[in-house]
Structure 1
Amino acid sequence: MPVRQLRRRVLGTSTAATALAVSALIITAPHAAAEPVDFGKGSDKKETGGSNETGIYAAARIQYSGAVAKGGGTGNVTSSDVNWTPPPCWYAPYLGAKDFKKEMSKHIDSQLNAPGMGGTAGAAIGETQRHYEDGYGWSGSPGYKDYNVENDGKGMFWAGVENPDETDYLKRSSCTDLPFWVENGDAPPPQYEEAISPEILAALAYQHMQLPDTKVTLAPEATTKVNLPTWAWLDKAVFDEVQATAALNVPGFNIQATTTAKPVSLKLEPGTKDAVTYPASGECVINADDSIGEPYAKGKADETPPCGVRYLRSSGDGTYKLRATVTWEITWTGTGSPNPTKLPNGTFGNDQAITVQEIQAVNR
C-alpha cells in the first residue's frame, strides 16, 4: 500500500515557507477522537459538524466488529512481511459544505491574523482562502466558490485522518492534502491514493484483529525428562479461523471489508540449542481436519511425535521457554471484492515454561 512521505505541493511552488503555511491549514483528524456529525445540510448551531475546542474531526468513524482487539488497540496478529504495514493515515468524509465553511474560514482567519504571518507564507494562506472562497483552482484541483455551499447536502468535503495505532509521527501525519469535495455516491478522485477504500478497511481490520492465545497442549505437560519426546498439538475445536470486519457508513458512501485469518502451521522453538524438534524444521503443518499435531495416547511412548520436541539437557533449577508461534493465512473480502484476496500472512505466539529433569537411575 503506497504511503507518501512528503506533502503534495498544492500551490505549485517548492518554497519551504509555502509548505509550512499550507500545512498549518490542513486538518488531519485523529481517528480515535472522531465523532458523528450532521451528514445532511449544514446547521446554524454553534460547534456543529464534529468540532470542539481543540480542533475539528472527521465525520466518518470506522466501526469494527467480530474478533477485534479490546479498546481498539493493535491486536495480537503481526505481519510476517516486514515491508507491509497498515495505512498510517487515510482520507475520509469530513464535513458538509456549510459546516466546512464555518470551520475552515475560522481556521484561515486565525492564521492570517497570527503574528509574523507575512511574505510567502501569508501569500500561501491567501491563496488557500481564494481556493475556497473565490473558486481559485491550482495543480488540477478545482476551486470551491463560497466553500461550495450551494451544493450543501449533495456531498461532503473529505480530509485526512490519522491512524492512532501508527507510532511514526511523520507517517501518521502524511495525509496532508487540503480537504476536497466528493459528491454523494461518487468515488473520490483517483489522485488521492489514500482515500478510504475496502482495501484500506481490510488492512485496518487486520491491524485490530484479536487472535486466540497460542498455548499448545503438551504431553508430558510442563515437566518432561531428558531425551523423552514431548508431544504437542492444537485441537481444531478450540483453534479455528477468526474474522474481523471494518465498515464505514455515511450517506452516499458505504463500504466494508471482512478480514479472515486461518491457521496453517505451528512453529516450535524449544528455547535452547540442546533440543530436537519434530519435524526437524520445527514447522508443524495443519492436518486435514484443521487440527495441528497429534494428541498423545497410551501406547505411543516409543513413537516419534509428528509435532513435538525432545530436550537433550536438563533445565537445572530453571525452565526453558518453549515458544509456539502459529502462522495465519489472511485474506479479505469486501464491497466490490467478493472473492478472497490475499494479505500477508500473520503470526502470533506464546511462551510456555518447560521444566526438563534428568532421568534418575538406581544401580544395584
Structure 2
Amino acid sequence: MAAVLLLAVMPSASHAAGPGGSKGGNSNGGQNGQNITAETKIQVSVPGQSGSAKTGTLTSENSNWTPPACWYEPSFSPKEIEATVKAIGGLPLFGDVFATMLNGYYKDGTPYKDYNLDQQGKGMFWASVVNPKRKDDPAATSCDKLPFWVPNGQTPAEPLAVSPQILAEYAYDELRLPDTTVTLKPGDKSTVNLPTWAWLDKTTFRPVSVTASIPNSGLSATTTATPVSLKLEPGTADAQLHPAGGVCPIAADGSIGAPFSQDKANQAPPCGVTYLRSTTRTGPHKLRATVTWKVEWTSTTGQGGTLPSGTFGTTQDVTVQEIQAINR
C-alpha cells in the first residue's frame, strides 16, 4: 500500500523497449521497511536487434559472479523527497511515526535542513535501487541507506554507488544472444557411422552489444559479447565428436564449422558428430549446441575491462537411420 501511494506522487520516466530501441526503469519511489527506495533510471539501448529473433541470455561461466543486486543512483530532487515524506505521513500503520523520523533527517537539520530545497537543481538525493532481475538475491538487501545528497558533478564515496562498471554489469544481464540451432547436413536424418556436418552462419554470430546509461549524466557503459567457440553435446554416449571433445573454434571470418559440399563427402567435418547407433528404438537424440561468448566493456569515462565469459545453448532433435549409404 505504501508503494502505491508513493508512486502517485512521483513522476514517471518509464520507457517501453522496442527493436533496436531502448528501455529503462523509472524514478518512482517506494518504501521498503525503514528505507525509501527507487526504481532504476538506467536506460538500455540494444542497437540493431530484431524484436522477432529468437534470443537467450548469458549464463556466466564463473559461478561465483553475478550482475549487481543493488546500487545507489541519483533518484530524487529536494521537492520529490519532500513530497515522498509527506505522502508517508498520510499512510496507515505507523506512517506518521516513520514520517516524523524522516522529517528529523531531511527537514529539521540532522543532517539536512528543509529537504535541501534551497539546493533544488544543484544536486540529487541518491537512493537505493534493486536490480529487478536480482530481487530475490540476498545481496539485494545490501543497499540499506536512506537517500543521501550528492551535488551535481560529484561521485559519492559509496562503494555501491552506480559506476561505469555497475552499468556494464547491468548491461550483461540485458544481452540477448542469437538462437544456437546449428545447421546440419544431412539435415533431416543422420546415418549410422557417417559424419554429420554442423555449422553456424557467420552473418548470425557476430558481436552483440548493449549500452546502459543514466539519463542526463553523461555516464554510460557498453558491454559487448563476442562468440569464440561452439560446443556440441550429441545427446548419447554412442557418438564420435569432431573435433574430439566437441569444441569447434570460431574461424577468422566469424563462422563456426563449415558447410558441407559434395566434394567433402569423404572428409571428417571440422565441426560435427558421427552417431554410432540408430534412434529407431530410442527416439531422436538431443543434440545440444552451446556457444561461448567472451564479454568486454567500455565506458564514457574511459574505463573498461572484461567480465566473465558466458554461454548460451539450445537443443535440437536428431534422428539417426541405420543404412550404410546416403545420397548427399
What is the TM-score of this pair, normalised by structure 2?
Answer: 0.81
The Cα shift of 1:157 comes to 0.6
Partner of 1:65: 45
Local SS of the residue matching 1:86: coil
Check the 8 A contact 2:284/2:317 in 1, yes or no.
Answer: yes
Partner of 1:15: none
Partner of 2:181: 215
The Cα shift of 1:182 comes to 0.7
Partner of 2:301: 336
Q: In the alignment, residue 12 of structure 2 is paired with which amino acid?
A: E
Question: Could you say which structure has the larger radius of gyration?
Answer: 1
1:225 lines up with 2:183 in the alignment: no
Local SS of the residue matching 2:66: coil
> Deviations along 1:178-234, whole A, 9 cap, x unmatched?
1100111111x22x2221111111111110111111111111113111111111111
Percent of paired sites with the same residue: 48
> Deviations along 1:88-120, whole A, 9 cap, x unmatched?
122111111122122124426758x729x9xxx
- The alignment covers a number of residue pairs equal to 303
1:53 & 1:160 partners in 2: Cα distance? 10
Partner of 2:117: 149
Partner of 1:135: 109
Check the 8 A contact 1:319/1:353 in 2, yes or no.
Answer: yes
Partner of 1:355: 319
Q: In the alignment, residue 307 of structure 1 is paired with which amino acid?
A: C
- 1:250-261 equivalences under 5 Å are 250=216, 253-261=217-225
2:29 & 2:267 partners in 1: Cα distance? 68
The Cα shift of 1:174 comes to 3.2
Pick aligned residue for 1:238 from 204, 216, 219: 204
The structure-2 alpha-carbon separation of the partners of 1:106 and 1:360, relative to structure 1 and needing over 3 Å to count, comes to closer
CA RMSD of aligned residues (A): 3.4
The Cα shift of 1:286 comes to 1.1
- 1:285-364 equivalences under 5 Å are 285-317=249-281, 318-337=283-302, 340-359=304-323
Local SS of the residue matching 2:263: coil
1:34 & 1:345 partners in 2: Cα distance? 38
2:299 & 2:275 partners in 1: Cα distance? 47
> Deviations along 1:217-265, whole A, 9 cap, x unmatched?
1111131111111111112122211111111113xx3311111111000
Local SS of the residue matching 1:332: strand
1:104 lines up with 2:85 in the alignment: yes
1:200 & 1:69 partners in 2: Cα distance? 26
The Cα shift of 1:278 comes to 0.9
Check the 8 A contact 2:180/2:313 in 1, yes or no.
Answer: yes
Which structure 1 segments of 5+ residues have no match?
1-24, 38-48, 137-142
Check the 8 A contact 1:268/1:324 in 2, yes or no.
Answer: yes
Partner of 2:94: 114
Check the 8 A contact 1:98/1:152 in 2, yes or no.
Answer: yes
Q: In the alignment, residue 58 of structure 1 is paired with which amino acid?
A: A
- 1:260-271 equivalences under 5 Å are 260-271=224-235
- 1:48-59 equivalences under 5 Å are 50=28, 58=38
The structure-2 alpha-carbon separation of the partners of 1:148 and 1:244, relative to structure 1 and needing over 3 Å to count, comes to same
What is the TM-score of this pair, normalised by structure 1?
Answer: 0.74
2:182 & 2:56 partners in 1: Cα distance? 20
The structure-2 alpha-carbon separation of the partners of 1:151 and 1:64, relative to structure 1 and needing over 3 Å to count, comes to same
The Cα shift of 1:50 comes to 4.5
Which structure 2 segments of 5+ residues have no match?
15-26
